Chains A and B, each alone.
Chain A
């Protein structure tokens, strides 16, 4: 199975900050990488698919990049509603789909 490792596991930032979350795959996954946002008590929400494609309705301050084994999710200017947990997910070698362990983004 492909292992997905996110860093950092948690992050404190302020409104207006630029934030980057990293996801590393245990082997090359081309661009088969998705990012999700999850708020407490809610289902995950797809933000980015195919490493860099913005899902419909997602604000443009979210962007994704990378290919192979290293990927990043960037939020250009944090808004209050962005404080949540973020997960990466690979869909290259399936089954199984695998997720990163999550990055909790908290208010500083």
Chain B
């Protein structure tokens, strides 16, 4: 059974850092496209970052230069390192697996989400 379990969220001050983890089971993270998607309180979905099976990464303009996506193949885990956090980064962060059909950004499995709150 495919499962994604996020952890690492919490309360952090503006300018601080957090690392989110997404532990996968039932499939191999390194063989798939994996993304982070966030949702600010009461708002819609916003794509944050992707790492493709070949290791290529992309970021939304809003987080470029501050966030880094990575994976640990030995732990079958996806990460999101978040630096220089701002109040507008406050959101529930989901990891999601991308299946390949028209593209490899069709998100068929999602984690339960982890809340990041940036506030002083």
A: residues with CB less than 8 A from B are: 30-32, 34, 36, 38, 43-46, 49-50, 53, 55, 87, 89, 91-92, 94-102
- Is the Cβ of A49 less than 8 Å from the Cβ of B44? no
B: residues with CB less than 8 A from A are: 35, 37, 44-47, 50, 58-61, 94, 99, 101-108, 110-113
How many interface contacts (CB-CB < 8 Å) are there between A and B? Answer: 71
Q: How far is the CA of A49 from the CA of B97 in the complex (A)?
A: 14
- Is the Cβ of B103 less than 8 Å from the Cβ of A43? no
- Is the Cβ of A43 less than 8 Å from the Cβ of B112? yes
- Is the Cβ of A91 less than 8 Å from the Cβ of B44? no
User: What 7 A-B pairs come out closest when comparing CB atoms?
Assistant: A43-B110, A91-B105, A95-B58, A97-B47, A91-B103, A99-B45, A49-B106
Q: Which residues of B contact A98 (CB under 8 A)?
A: 47
Q: How far is the CA of A102 from the CA of B32 in the complex (A)?
A: 27
- Is the Cβ of A55 less than 8 Å from the Cβ of B110? no
In terms of DSSP, what is the predominant structure of the interface of chain B?
A: strand
**CB nearest neighbor in B for A32:** B102
Q: How far is the CA of A31 from the CA of B112 in the complex (A)?
A: 28
Q: How far is the CA of A89 from the CA of B37 in the complex (A)?
A: 12
- Is the Cβ of A50 less than 8 Å from the Cβ of B105? no
**CB nearest neighbor in B for A98:** B47
**CB nearest neighbor in B for A53:** B101
**CB nearest neighbor in B for A34:** B106
